[in-house]
Amino acid sequence: MSDGSGGLESGRKRATRLRDRVERHALAGLTVATVAVLAVVFYYPVGTVLVESVVVDGAVTLGVFADLLRDPFYFGELARLFAGEDPVAVVRALVAPDRRLGIVGFTAYQAALSTLASVALGLPAAYLLARFEFPGRRTLRSLTIVPFVLPSIMVAVGFVATFGRNGTLNALLAAVGLGPVELMFSLEAIVIAHAFYNAPLVARVTTAAWESVDAGAVETARSLGAGPLRSFLDVVAPQVYPAVLMGAALTFVFTFGTFPIVLALGGFELATVEVFVFRLARDLNYAEAAALAVVELVISLAVLGAYLRYEARHTVTSRGVRPLPRRPLVPSAPTAGALLSRLGLGVYGVVAALVFLAPIASMVLASVTGGDGALTLDHYRFLVERQRTGAAFQVRPWPAVRNSLVFAAASALVALPMGVVVAVVTTRRYRGRKLVDAVAMAPFAVSGILVGLGLLRGLVFGVEVAGWRIAVAGSAAIVAAHAVAGYPFVVRTVAPGLDSLDRSLIESARALGASRARVLRDVELPLVWPGVVAGAAFAVAISMGEFTATVVLATGADAYTMPVAIERFIGRRLGPATAMGCVLLVVTGLSFVVIERLGGEYDGI
C-alpha cells in the first residue's frame, strides 16, 4: 500500500507483476500446448487417413465406402442389405446355420462373446470383493488393474504357452491321460484372452458401484418388509447394474478394436477388422484400410455414445454413504446358504486362477523349458547370443529394452502434463464441457492402427509446410503415439480426485490472491497426488505394452520395442518369445515399483 521507497521496491513490484502475468496465463498456455500436441500428433494424422478414405485420385468419392459396405467379405449377409436386397431374405440368411458374418460381423460377434465372458468372469469377483472380508482383499482389489495394463503381446505369448499344442494345458491333460485339445487359432482362445483383459475391468467398476450402495437404503427396504433377495433386486441391483453396463460397453469397444491378441492367437484366418486394417496398410492399400478403419471407428463410437447417453440419464451420485458391511469369507455359522455361496466362490476361484495366473505362469515356465521338456536356460542364452552376434537387420534384445524405457519415460513426460491439463479443463463446469471431454478422450476409442498409420503417412513420411518439408523421426512418432495412448489414463486417474475436491478450497485460495495455475500447484495437485502418481504409472505401462501403433511405426531397424521384439520372435519359435516376455514382465514391474517410490505412498486407484 505504501508508495515505495526507491527503485528497489518498484523493481520488485515489477517482477511480482511479471510473475503474476505469467502465472495468470500459465494454465491457458498449457491448455493451448495440449491442444496443439493433440492436433499435431492425433487429429491431423488421423484426419489425413480419413481423408484418404474419401479422396481417390484427387476426387472426393464415397465409392470406397460403398464398395466396402456391399462386399460380403467384410459385411457377410448384411452386405446384401446394403446392396439393396430384400431385408426379409437377408434376415432369413442371417438366422440360417451357414450364414456368413464377414470380417466386420465376425469382429462384432467375437466382441459380443468376449463381453459376455468378461461379465460372467467379472461379476463373481465383484461379489467377492464388495461383500466379503478376507486377508488380502485390498491387495486383490488393487491387483484387478494389473491385467488391463499388461502388455497385450505378452499376454498373447502367455496364452500360446498355455493353450498351444505343446502348452501347459495339454501337458496337464496328458499327465492325467486325456488327449490333446487344439485351442490355438480358435475363437475360444481369443474370447478367453479377452476375458483375461476385461473381466477385471468389469469387476472393478462393479465393485466400486456395489461399495457405494448405502447400507441405510438396504436397511430401510428390509424394515419395510422386503426380504434379502427382494431388497437386493430392488435396492442394490439398480445401483450396480449401470456399472455392469459400463464395464460391458467398454469391453465391447476394447475387444472390437483388438489387435495383438487376435494377431497372435487367431492369425489371419480369424482376422478382426483391426488386423485387416493392418494387413491392408501393409499391402499399401491405404484407401481401403482407411475406409475400414472409419467403419470400425463409427461402430466403436456408436457403442460408446449409446452408453454415455445411458450413463447421463442414470448416474446417481451418492457421496458419504455408509457401505454395506462385509461378511467374513469363513462363515461363523455354517448354514446351508452360507456354505453354498462359499462353494460357488471356491469354484470361481479355481476358474479365475486358471484364466489369470496360468498364462503368466506358463510363460515363465515355457521360458525355462526346452523342447524336450527339461529345464533349461537356452532361451535366455539365445537372447544373449543374439545381442552379441545379431546382424543389423535382426531384432536384438538390448535395443528393445532400451527403446522401451526411453519411449516410456519420454511419453510419460508428455502424457502427464497433458493429462493433468485435460483433467483440470474437463472437471470445471461450463457450457461445452462435454464436447471438450469427447475431443480430449477420443484417443481412447480410436484404434492404434489408425493413429500409427496416420503418424506414418502424415508425419514420418513428411509434410510440406510453407515450402519446407517437415518429417519426424520414427522414434519421435512412437513417443507421440504412446503419449496420446497414455494420457487418457492420466486424465482418468487425476480427474476423479479433482472433481471430488471441494470447490471452496480452490475459491478460498483464489480469494487469498493465488492465480488459477498457482492454486493447481499449491492446492489441487498436492491433494490428488496419488492419482498423479498412478497416472504416471499407467502412462509408462501403456507405453511399455503398446504394440499396435508401434509395430506400424517401427519400420526402421532401430525403433523397435520389447513388444515388437516379442512379436518378431513369436513368428519363429515360442521359446525366445517367452524369454523376452519375461524380460518385459520384469522391466514393467520394476518401472512400477520405481514410480511408486518416486511418487511417495499411495494406495492404488
- Binding residues for another protein, per CB under 8 A? 1, 24, 431, 502, 504-505, 507-516, 518, 522-523, 526-527
Cβ proximity to another protein, 23 vs 219, nearer residue: 23
Minimum distance from CB of 495 to another protein (Å)?
19
- Whole-number Å distance between alpha carbons of 57 and 315: 48
The secondary structure of 226-237 as a DSSP string is --HHHHIIIIIH
- Pick the closest to residue 461 from 36, 38, 52 (CA basis): 52
Cβ proximity to another protein, 133 vs 522, nearer residue: 522
Minimum distance from CB of 503 to another protein (Å)?
9
Cβ proximity to another protein, 27 vs 401, nearer residue: 27
Under a CB-based contact definition with an 8 Å cutoff, are residues 278 and 238 in contact? no
| Contacts by 303-310, CB closer than 8 A, 24 or more apart | 303/249, 303/252, 303/253, 303/256, 304/249, 304/253, 304/445, 306/249, 307/245, 307/246, 307/249, 307/250, 310/242, 310/245
Cβ proximity to another protein, 379 vs 516, nearer residue: 516
Minimum distance from CB of 215 to another protein (Å)?
24
Cβ proximity to another protein, 291 vs 532, nearer residue: 532
Minimum distance from CB of 522 to another protein (Å)?
7
Contacts of 411 (CB under 8 A, 6+ apart): 479, 480, 482, 483, 486, 539, 543
Minimum distance from CB of 475 to another protein (Å)?
39
Minimum distance from CB of 3 to another protein (Å)?
14
Cβ proximity to another protein, 70 vs 510, nearer residue: 510
CA atoms within 13 A on the CB side of 486: 34
Cβ proximity to another protein, 9 vs 558, nearer residue: 9
Cβ proximity to another protein, 15 vs 174, nearer residue: 15
Phi, psi of 383 (to 5 degrees): -60, -45
463: which strand partners? 470
Cβ proximity to another protein, 373 vs 600, nearer residue: 600
Under a CB-based contact definition with an 8 Å cutoff, are residues 322 and 215 in contact? yes
Tell me which H or E stretch contains 23.
helix 7-38
- Dihedral sign, Cα of residue 487, residue 490, residue 494, residue 499: positive
Q: Which amino acid is at 311?
A: E
Minimum distance from CB of 44 to another protein (Å)?
33
- Pick the closest to residue 482 from 592, 559, 568, 595 (CA basis): 559
The secondary structure of 541-599 as a DSSP string is HHHHH--HHHHHHTTSTT---HHHHHHHHHTT-HHHHHHHHHHHHHHHHHHHHHHHHHH
- Whole-number Å distance between alpha carbons of 502 and 247: 28
Minimum distance from CB of 440 to another protein (Å)?
22
Minimum distance from CB of 18 to another protein (Å)?
14
